[in-house]
Amino acid sequence: MSGTLHLFVSRGLLGLSLLCVTVLTRAEAPGAEVGSVRLQIVGPGESGAAEPMPARVSLSGPDGEPVLPPGLPNWRDHFNCDGTVELDLDPGSYAYVVERGPEFTRSAGKFMIEAGKRVDLTVPLERLVDLPALGWYSGETHVHRPPSDLPLLLRSEDLHLAPVLTVWNRTSYWRDRPLPDQRLLELEPGRAYHLMACEDERRGGALLYFNLERPLDLDADGPEAPSPVVHLREAVAEQGAWVDVEKPFWWDMPTWVATGHVRSIGIAHNHMWRLGVLDNEAWGRPRDRDQYPPPRGNGLYTQDIYYRLLNCGLRIPPSAGSASGVLPNPVGYNRVFVHLDAPFSYEAWWQGLAEGRSFVTNGPLLVVSANGEHPGSVLQSPEGEPVQLEFDVQLWSNDPIEAIEVVRDGQVVHRIDDPDLGEPIRLDALHFDQSGWCLVRAIADVPETFRFASTAPFSIEVGEPRRPVHRPDVEYFLRWIDARIEAIEADPEGLLTDPSVRQSVLEPHREARQFFERLLGQAE
């Protein structure tokens, strides 16, 4: 017996659009207590014809609980597959969402399982845009998933690069394993992951280390001592590590930045979830919740701190990470796209990130040029003539976009509400008669979370090459460091009872204060 079932979904938390799918059912063994589904995900292949496509599936049963098939990578409410999966299911109504990163449409629907019958379900995905064809490749910097899952995770999330955090303080994947001969694993042209990344997370916040030759030894570290700066300097000097500040509001962030060794800082981070937000700053510097109300407050506070760093003349590119394996996100929910002028390579991607030829996102895809140049560019007028920037923007998204905004020296100076998606947009020219910076961001109209994209900054130098330093922002970080020093000296939990140990922990913060005092001497 066969029949047709039309699937439907209305706009909900994820901003889903209407989808109708034909499902064929046929009778199975009479009297069976369960039914089954064969789910096939298809998308455009190289020839343009539909073919099986790796993807992520969020499947919930009649009780609303997630269905997680054994043998496939899964986390919280979703699993990843190579394009086809067959499941035995109890009778009832099931709902699904299928996604493959932000470059593909999101598909969703429902189906009914009847005892003794099978559902054959084909779910189509379509491309919104092919960013690699435009030179943009995505990576993410905060992955806690098993290394053996990475090949399928990269394919099914359409992610090109990911270092895997195999050491997280006293948790080490290598404790009972020999170190691998190969740290960098390339799956195919355009996809690679690295096995030697570490997270050092303590009282002052979290630092991420990438491209290590060997794990950092964090076993003996306490909440405060030794200072994380000890490992930071060792990792850079001995292993040439890439150092990332996992998010800007960590108490030790200004101190880490002052070392000069921080290569990137996460502004699309793990407090931003696919279906909500982690609405606090954990043990970081808390925000003013009246100034930054939920659900966007944590994300906007994050960006404003980053803008203050830029206003101190510090050109640190933004990064993005999801903490999949710890927090509810899929791998690559928060990701950073880097523009390459040549074919993808692991090394070239990091070099592009270092130069700020990038944008971060957890949804919208935002490709921007200023006077024909990519983000990260320094636009100069050596003779001191004013610089006029003209922005060309293209924006794609599965969600409606509330606005595109231009941020200059930390302030929103231009806004376009309800911009067109997929069509070229020319923004009003921005006039610079003195040096500064600017970036473009897009904010999605998604009520339950902070979904956005932001370019890395463009730098503008008018006259003599210089990086403007804004006095209020330097003073902001001096007050921040003073509060951190005061908390360490008070030591209410008795973590630093040995005076010499306490002094060793305080020393990097005092050095950071000197760094910002020097900046204050350059401030306008």
In this chain, the answer to whether the domains covering 4-124 and 128-353 adopt an identical fold is no
Cis geometry, peptide bond prior to residue 295 (ω within 30 degrees of 0): yes
What pLDDT score was predicted for residue 45? 82
Torsional sign, CA 342, 348, 351, 356: positive
pLDDT tens digits for range 440-485 = 999 999 999 999 999 999 999 999 888 999 999 999 999 999 999 9
- How many Cβ atoms from other residues are within 10 Å of residue 222's Cβ? 12
**Cα(122)–Cα(81) distance, rounded to whole angstroms?**
14
What pLDDT score was predicted for residue 382? 83
Check if the beta carbon of residue 132 is closer than 8 Å to that of residue 98: no
Strands (E), 355-457: 358-361, 365-370, 378-381, 387-389, 391-396, 401-408, 411-417, 425-426, 430-432, 436-444, 452-455
**Cα(433)–Cα(385) distance, rounded to whole angstroms?**
7
CATH top class, domain 128-353: alpha beta
Q: Which amino acid is at 443?
A: I
Check if the beta carbon of residue 339 is closer than 8 Å to that of residue 136: yes
Residue spans of the chain under pLDDT 70: 1-32
Determine the CATH number of domain 363-468. Answer: 2.60.40.1930
| Residue partners of 168: CB distance under 8 A and separation at least 6 | 144, 198, 199, 201
Quick one: 4-124 is in which CATH superfamily? Immunoglobulins (2.60.40.10)
- Residue 262 half-sphere exposure toward CB, CA atoms < 13 A: 28
pTM over 0.85: yes
Radius of gyration (C-alpha) of the chain in whole angstroms: 24
**Tokens at residue 75, please?**
């986390």
Q: Is 383 left (phi over 0), alpha (psi -120 to 50) or beta?
A: alpha
Domains in the chain: boundaries: 4-124, 128-353, 363-468, 471-491+505-522
**Cα(272)–Cα(258) distance, rounded to whole angstroms?**
27
Reference 197, options 188, 185, 189, 187; nearest CA is: 185
pLDDT tens digits for range 54-109 = 999 999 999 999 999 999 999 999 999 999 999 999 999 999 999 999 999 999 99
- Percent share of the chain, pLDDT over 90: 90
